[in-house]
Amino acid sequence: MSRPTSQQPIALKPRRYGDARGWFAETYSVQFARAAGIDVAFVQDNQSFSSAKGTVRGLHFQRPPHDQAKLVRCLRGSIMDYAVDIRRGSPTYGRFVQARLTAEGGEQLFIPIGFAHGFVTLEPDVEIAYKVSDIYAPDCDGGVRWDDPDIAIDWPLPETGAVLSDKDLSLPGLHEFDSPFDYDGHPLEPLSDL
């Protein structure tokens, strides 16, 4: 079983300091994270590039003992980012929150353990960076189907549809999924405004 967590998804917007040269921002600090309610030690940084608009990645998670919390931000372009509650026994099981993350705005989304993560690119040539709280462990890799009708995400896709990996096309639906994550007594709450 997963260790319990009382974390909720959290939308963040680090402050930018600008002048004639451009801007500077602390994109992560322990102090800023703790002040926002994130008390997680991150151990690895990941980055992805998606060339096509409408690229969907997700809905992914890692099972215990290498379950991961994530802190996601967009380095180039923009995405719609999703966190789906997959905690067994949660009254908000299968529900999600979403946040638009842009390179221009610097927004971030914290996704705690017990939530599946996915995003769709809103334009071509998008780069995403995310911190994770445990190492990548292929034997703990998991996910649920991106277009599961029980989750019912209304993905903002172009007319050409979603660009998907074979792996994401073969993920199980929510009703076929036996969650390794336990409900902690805190149902999913809406994200606060950025």
Structure tokens at 88: 């067994």
Q: How many CB atoms lie within 10 A of CB 141?
A: 13
Q: How many CB atoms lie within 10 A of CB 58?
A: 22
Catalytic residues: 60, 130
Distance CA 14, CA 78 (A): 16
* Residue among 61, 48, 46, 53 at smallest CA distance from 171: 61
Please check whether residue 78 is in contact with residue 123, taking contact to mean a CB–CB distance below 8 angstroms: yes
**Coil/strand/helix, residue 75:** strand
Report which of 114, 107, 91 is spatially closest to residue 1, judged by C-alpha positions.
114
| N-terminal to C-terminal alpha carbon distance within the chain | 33
How far apart, in whole angstroms, are the C-alpha atoms of residue 17 and residue 63? 39
